[in-house]
Structure 1
Amino acid sequence: MSKILIISDSHGWRSELANVIDRHRNEVDYIIHCGDSELEADARELEGVKIVSGNCDWGHDFPEELTVKITDDILLYVTHGHNYNVKMTYVPISYRAEEVGARIVCFGHSHIATTFIENEVIYINPGSIRLPRNRKEQTYCMCTIKSHSVDVTFYSIEGNEVEDLSREYTI
């Protein structure tokens, strides 16, 4: 089993980001930030975090995308999403997922918390812990990968589960 904390679009918040990460640091295998942290690469808050660059991250401190091999048959792909027009369509990011062989895609940019599966690829946008859109909760999520399932559980910034967003997928 692998457990991944996924955060995005914290837009300069330091203590709030640190609180979320510290709450879960000892129970996860990976911490992913999908961009727009607006922090410097050596920020204490980002220690041990795999992070990509968002459209509000200036400079070249973070990569545009990254892949993480979770198991022999599960590759996680992370990008912010602005280069794939995710506010309008998921088609370009789905093509990139296919190119890299991803089974799970993590992205941000739209600030809209969502998860869905298409063509056997699980897509996860954790929403924003600072500026959510389409709902009031400031959100992040946890992805738990088991032998035959993937659980995506969303939480409010206070650490309360947001049940109507959470999903379980059979793989």
Structure 2
Amino acid sequence: MRVLIISDSHGDGDRLKRIAEEVAADHIIHCGDFSTDAEELPSRPMTVVQGNCDWEDKPLEDWWEKEGVRFFVTHGHRHQVKSSFLPLRYRAEETGAQVACFGHSHVPVCEQSGNILLINPGSITMPREFPQPTYAVLERSGNKDVDVTFYNPQGEVVRERGGTFTLPGKEV
């Protein structure tokens, strides 16, 4: 399983499509603020949520599951992610997710919070509190392990974020 996690592309559909093509993931998760018409999104298997800057009618929350790993996807503005991850974590736990993907802050995050792996891929166009734009790729690396690697839009690894994480609960 290889999942591209991306957020806050803010109208740069060409960059989004190029990254989606280069990563060649099994699935794409876009955590909102794509800020384009929906038909301008990559034509690949995707889970897309509406961000606070989107006008397209997309769900505010969604879920996707593969190989026993359940992803909770939201933009994060309704979960106050700029001040605390606790509301996001609780909502993800309520949905039975092991991974919570979110955006909104434009700050790349990858950390375990209780039983939930929190991933904010950052922004591919307008990074904040980080020196470069980023996106993330999650890959299954073991029975319960996943590897999360962050990249800049040129496809170079961003070593300051990511790692290998053991997902609690279900066997993957």
| Shorter-chain TM-score above 0.5 | yes
Structure 1's unaligned 5+ residue stretches are: none
Q: Which residue of 1 aligns with 2:166?
A: 170
Q: Which residue of 2 aligns with 1:51?
A: 48
Query: Equivalents in 2 of 1:51, 1:31: separation in Å?
Result: 8
- Does residue 151 in structure 1 map to residue 147 in structure 2? yes
1:1-171 alignment runs, 5 A limit: 2-25=1-24, 28-43=25-40, 45-48=41-44, 49-60=46-57, 62-72=58-68, 74-146=69-141, 147-171=143-167
Post-superposition Cα deviations, 1:138-163, rounded to whole Å, max 9, x if no partner, equal 10010012322111100011100001
Give the C-alpha shift of residue 10 in structure 1.
0.4
What is the percentage of aligned positions where both structures have the same residue?
Answer: 39
Q: In structure 1, give the amino acid aligned to 2:157.
A: E
Query: Equivalents in 1 of 2:100, 2:84: separation in Å?
Result: 14
Query: Equivalents in 1 of 2:130, 2:113: separation in Å?
Result: 23
SS in 1 for 2:130: coil
Give the C-alpha shift of residue 95 in structure 1.
1.2
Which stretch shifts more, 141-150 or 96-105? 141-150
Give the C-alpha shift of residue 14 in structure 1.
1.6
The Cα RMSD (Å) is 1.1
Query: Equivalents in 1 of 2:79, 2:130: separation in Å?
Result: 23
TM superposition outliers: structure 1 runs of 4+ over 2 Å: none
TM-score (norm 2): 0.92
Query: Equivalents in 2 of 1:167, 1:53: separation in Å?
Result: 28
TM-score (norm 1): 0.92
Which stretch shifts more, 91-100 or 143-152? 143-152
Query: Equivalents in 2 of 1:16, 1:34: separation in Å?
Result: 16
Query: Equivalents in 2 of 1:67, 1:16: separation in Å?
Result: 25
Query: Equivalents in 2 of 1:125, 1:8: separation in Å?
Result: 8
